[in-house]
A and B are shown apart, each in its own frame.
Chain A
C-alpha cells in the first residue's frame, strides 16, 4: 500500500494517511446510508389500518405514495454524502496540494532570483521527500557556488605578487572552475 519509497527518506504518502482516508470514506458512506435507512424506516413503519380492506387498499396504494418519499430520501442521501465527501477532499487537498502549492511558490521565487530559503512542510503533511529533495538540490548548488567563489578568492590572494604570477593563478582558478562546472549537464 505504501508504494515505492524514495531512497533514504520516508514514503511520499504514508500508509496511515491512506488508511485514514479510506476510514473517513467508510464513515461518510455509512453515515449517508444510515440517513437513507432512517428516512425510509420512518416512512415505512407507520402502522397499517386495522381491518382487512384497509390493509389491502393501503398496500395497493403504498408504492405510488412511497415514490416521492424514496426520491427525497435518495436526494437527501446524495446531498449529505456529497457534502461530507467534499470535506474529505478538502482534507486530502490540505495535506498534499497545500505543500505542492508552497513548493510552486518557492520555485517561482527561486526562478525570479530572489533569495531562496530552505523549505519545510508541517510534520503532518504528506510528500515530505519533495521538500528534502529540493533542499538537497539548493544545498548542492550553494556548496558548489561557495567552492567556486573560494577558488576565485584564493587566486586573488596573489594580488601582491607580480602581475604574471597573479594572472597565472587566476587563470588556473578559472580552469579549475570550468572543470568543476563540467559536471553540470
Chain B
C-alpha cells in the first residue's frame, strides 16, 4: 500500500505539473508565431524529459527509502527474536523479546515469549517436584510413584 501510495502520489504531481506546463508552453509557442517545429513533441521535449526524470528519481528514491525502512524494521524485529532465542539456549527464558511495534514482528515475539514462558513454567514445576522428593519424608511407594511421574514430565520437555 505504501509503494502504491508513492506511485500514485508521484503520478498525481507529474500530471498536475505537466498539465499546467503544457497549457503555458503551447500557448506561448502559438503566440510566438515562428513555427520551426514539426510536432508538439519538439516543443515539449525538454519539459517532458525533465519531468519524467523527476518522476523517476522521486518515485525511486521514495521507494528506496521505504525498502530500506522495511529492511531495517525486519533486521531490528528478527534480530531481537534471534537474541531472545540465543538467550533462551543459555537458560534465560523470562527476558521479554521486545521485537518492536510492527504488528507481524510483535506477534512473532509474543509467540516466542509464550513458548519460553511455558518452558520455564514446566522446568520450574519439575524443579519444585524434584526438590520436594529430594527433601525426604515421603513413603517409598509414594516416592516411587512420583519418581516415575517426574521422569515422564522431564521426557515431555522439548519432545
Task: Output the least CB separation between A152 and chain B (Å).
Answer: 6
Partner of A184, one of B35, B111, B124: B124
- Which residues from 102 to 143 on chain B have a C-beta closer than 8 Å to any C-beta of chain A? 104, 107-108, 111-112, 114-115, 118-120, 123-124, 126-127, 130-131, 133-134, 136, 140, 143
Interchain CB contact under 8 A, B27 and A60: yes
Q: Are B130 and A177 in contact (CB under 8 A)?
A: yes
- B35 proximity list for chain A (CB < 8 A): 48, 52, 55
Asked whether, in the complex, the Cβ of B48 is within 8 Å of the Cβ of A184, the reply is no
Total count of chain B residues near the partner, CB < 8 A? 84
Q: What residue in chain A is nearest B55 (Cβ atoms)?
A: A33
- A71: nearest residue on chain B (CB-CB)? B15
The size of the chain A interface, using a CB distance under 8 A, is: 92
Known A32-B7, A174-B133; contact A70-B89, beta-carbon cutoff 8 A: no
> Pick the contact of B67 from A21, A60, A97, A171 — CB < 8 Å?
A21
Give the docked Cα–Cα distance between A81 and B6 (Å).
10
Name the distance in Å between B55's Cβ and chain A's nearest Cβ: 6
A30 CB to closest chain B CB (Å) equals 6
Q: Which residue of A lies closest to B38 (CB)?
A: A47
Residues of B within 8 A of A21 (CB): 67, 71
Asked if B85 contacts A130 (CB within 8 A), the reply is yes
Decide: B63 and A29 in contact? CB cutoff 8 A. Answer: yes
A-B contact pairs, 25 of them (CB 8 A): A3-B71, A12-B75, A29-B63, A32-B59, A37-B52, A44-B48, A48-B35, A52-B35, A56-B30, A63-B22, A82-B7, A85-B4, A104-B111, A110-B115, A111-B118, A113-B156, A116-B159, A133-B81, A133-B83, A133-B85, A148-B154, A152-B147, A163-B140, A175-B131, A178-B127
Interface on A for B, CB 8 Å cutoff?
A: 3-4, 6-7, 12-13, 18, 21-22, 25-26, 29-30, 32-33, 36-37, 40-41, 44-48, 52, 55-56, 58-60, 62-63, 66-67, 70-71, 74-75, 77-78, 81-82, 85-86, 88-89, 92, 96-97, 100, 103-104, 107-108, 110-111, 113-116, 126-127, 129-130, 133-134, 136-142, 144-145, 148-149, 152, 163, 167, 170-172, 174-175, 177-178, 181-185
Interface residues of B (CB under 8 A from A): 3-4, 7-8, 11-12, 14-15, 18-19, 22-23, 26-27, 29-30, 33, 35, 37-41, 43-44, 48, 52, 55-56, 59-60, 63-64, 67-68, 70-72, 74-75, 78-79, 81-83, 85-86, 88-94, 104, 107-108, 111-112, 114-115, 118-120, 123-124, 126-127, 130-131, 133-134, 136, 140, 143, 147, 150-151, 154-159
Question: Which 9 A-B residue pairings sit nearest by Cβ, starting from the closest?
Answer: A59-B30, A133-B85, A174-B134, A141-B158, A44-B41, A181-B127, A45-B41, A140-B89, A183-B91
